[in-house]
Amino acid sequence: MAGQDDERGHDERGQDDERGEGDERGQGASAPATWRRFARERVAQRRFAARQLAELRGYAGRGLVAGTVAVHLVAGLAPVAFMLGTGLALRDLGSDAAIGWLALAAGAFLVQQLVAPVQLVLSRRVQRRVDAACIERLATFSLRGASLAGLERPEVADRLSQADEAFEQWTLTPGAAVEGALALTARYTQLVGSLVVLTWAAGPWAALAGALVAIIARLGQTEAFHRWGDVIRSLAPLRRRANYVRELATGTRAAKEIRTLGLVDWLDDRYVAENRAVLDTLWTRRRAVYGAPFVAYTVAALIGSVIGLLVVARADVDVAAVSVAVQALILCGRFGVIFPESDVKLVYGRGAWQALLELEDIARRTGPEPAAAAPGARLTPQRSVRLDDVRFGYTTDRAVLDGLDLDLPVGTSTALIGVNGAGKTTLVKLLTGMYTPQSGAVRIDGEDLRTLDVDAWQAAFAITFQDYLRYELPLRENVAMAAIAHRDDDEGIRAELERVGLGSLLAELPDGLDTPLTRALPGGRDLSGGQWQRLALARALFAVRHGASVLVLDEPTAQLDARGEAEFYDTFLELTRGVTSLVISHRFSTVRRADRIVVLDGGRVTEAGTHDELVATGGQYARMFDVQARRFADEAGAGSPDEPDDPFDHSAAAGAGATGGAR
């Protein structure tokens, strides 16, 4: 990707320079050597920044950029023309020429007022074009270009948070950086014009003094801004922690627990502590950046300004020339102020772009780059899906899956059980291609998934994860998310809602399928935990209706009551007939209906067979089943004497199989 190699090279050069500079200082390096190293480092940084901005500028389009630069040039020349016109009018006061010079000044002033809104419109258009391209790039990469393992890395999360924050505010974005860079055209045009006028009015020495004042003042400002941008980027982890606590305190996601558990004071103290961690560091580093160094630059610029004024005062020129020269020197001195249209946008906006490049680089290096699937492409297994001697771990010191072999014949149902941490959910992530095995392979009809189109493979899945999402969208989209191209299939959506027991809910909603499932929107309604889980099941079944051939359900009935669970599994085999299905569950009332049951332990499959076969062998499955059966029998005996003898009978009570020990 353009810019990444340069960035890594720049980072490495920066680290080498810092180490070298530290070594020289430790050995008593001379001041000239230190300043040479400093100058080389800053030149490299500015060249790198220029390459980044050039890449971003391409998103705006040549025509728009050229037009914007031309308007900025006019805006920069207008104050110079005004300054020259007023000065010469003063010189020729009382003559006909003064009227012409005053007309020039008035025209320049009028042009400046007319150009200002045009500058704003064109600049905003540049920003919008660049930001639209960057947002598309960020979204495309996050959803398609990065592996899940890459996105879960903390350094990627820090940079993603920085990029997201920029686009949420819509002010300090990569597009704003391009806008700010182009706006410097007016400033530097004004400076060059002022130096030309100063040379004419008071001679080259006055112009040299003005140029030195401008360069020193600008260098001090840009150096401070550059260092401050590094400070802001270095605080990304602390700021992410503080933002998380703030969102936790102000959002509705955790509001019930915060209030019922009495966590308000604790959360308030935590918020203060996290923000102090950011602000204390910020204030300390700010004093270092804007303290002594900034005073030194200010004093140097002030001395240069005094020298320039003395040169003008000693020059043998008339009062008009002196007036023009003084105005030009003042403009040079103003290069030490912050340019609101450029400086902040350049530092923070380019920082957001750099964060985007870095997160792409880091995330991509953690795994293979997925191939792009054709729209609607789906890879359907014909014979079997197999995990062959798969080894995988999130850290190098612990393998979650260690030599796992598992065969999923097409058209059959498989149930997967195991204790907590056995790797069941990790297995699903590997099966779907979200993670890549460190050794071994996931094979589809004998072909290694690494050689196939992962997007097309994932399109074959209908999945309900244990932590399924609750979309704050209308009911229609909540069901159709698994096959969004068919969101207008009202008949299919209604049918799946009926199959999972939500037909009565649909009749109660004021706007039917178009009712938002959130109280935060007008006319919206929230659902109970059990209703949300049924909705997640309807989403998976809707995907099967529209062609998904592999169904994965991770604890699909965890939030359903006993009757709801029993009803669902009574019809489960009918709902998934001909579909390759994998069900993960704690409850043996669920797994005993599968064609094949697999026990996962120690990262491997330790037992496999039907329910009757596994009970007969007396292994781990039989012991876990016995625990649940005895617990249910105890609970049934303590409740109603009319409860059925079979703890996993197809009844409302049967679905209440306890959850002890099965995960």
212 belongs to a structural domain: yes
Sites in the chain below the pLDDT cut of 70? 1-31, 38, 144-151, 157, 162, 164-166, 168-170, 336, 363-377, 559-576, 589-590, 631-663
Residue 175 near residue 130 (C-beta atoms within 8 A): yes
Boundary (domain end) residue, out of 331, 365, 399: 365
Q: What is the enclosing helix (H) or strand (E) of 553? A: strand 550-554
CA distance 575 to 541: 8
Longest distance between any two alpha carbons in the chain, whole Å: 118
Are 76 and 36 within one domain? no
Are 422 and 293 within one domain? no
At 447, which CATH number?
Answer: 3.40.50.300
Each residue's pLDDT tens digit, 585-622: 777 766 777 889 999 988 899 999 988 899 899 888 88
Per-residue model confidence (pLDDT) at position 650: 34
Are 503 and 645 within one domain? yes
52 belongs to a structural domain: no
Are 291 and 213 within one domain? yes
| H helical segments located in 334-463 | 343-344, 350-365, 424-431, 454-458
Classify 571 as helix, strand or coil.
coil
404 belongs to a structural domain: yes
Boundary (domain end) residue, out of 313, 338, 365: 365
Q: How many domains does the chain have?
A: 3
Are 415 and 352 within one domain? no
Q: What's the CA dihedral at 319, 322, 327, 329 to 10 degrees?
A: -170
- Show Cβ contacts of residue 165 under 8 Å, excluding neighbours closer than 6 positions: 243, 352
CA distance 248 to 337: 39
Are 333 and 444 within one domain? no
662 belongs to a structural domain: no
Report the b/e string of 7-16 with b at 16+ CB within 10 A. Answer: beebeeeeee
Strand order in the sheet with 439-444: 401-409, 384-392, 439-444, 447-448
Are 417 and 342 within one domain? no
Are 344 and 432 within one domain? no
* 457 to 104, 430, 486, 548: CA distances (angstroms): 70, 12, 19, 10
Are 515 and 391 within one domain? yes
Residue 349 near residue 166 (C-beta atoms within 8 A): yes
376 belongs to a structural domain: no
Q: What is the enclosing helix (H) or strand (E) of 247? A: helix 236-250
Are 507 and 622 within one domain? yes
- The values of phi and psi at residue 529, to 5°, are -60, -45
72 belongs to a structural domain: yes
pTM score of the predicted model: 0.62
Are 553 and 461 within one domain? yes
401 belongs to a structural domain: yes
50 belongs to a structural domain: no
Each residue's pLDDT tens digit, 11-53: 433 344 433 444 444 444 566 777 777 678 777 877 887 888 8
At 165, which CATH number?
Answer: 1.20.1560.10
Tell me which residue range forms the domain holding 10: 1-20+29-43
CA distance 154 to 167: 20
Are 276 and 247 within one domain? yes
Report which of 177, 168, 179 is spatially closest to residue 121, judged by C-alpha positions.
179
Strands (DSSP E) found in 418-519: 439-444, 447-448, 461-464
Classify 389 as helix, strand or coil.
strand
Q: What is the enclosing helix (H) or strand (E) of 67? A: helix 62-91
| Single-letter code of the amino acid located at 342 | S
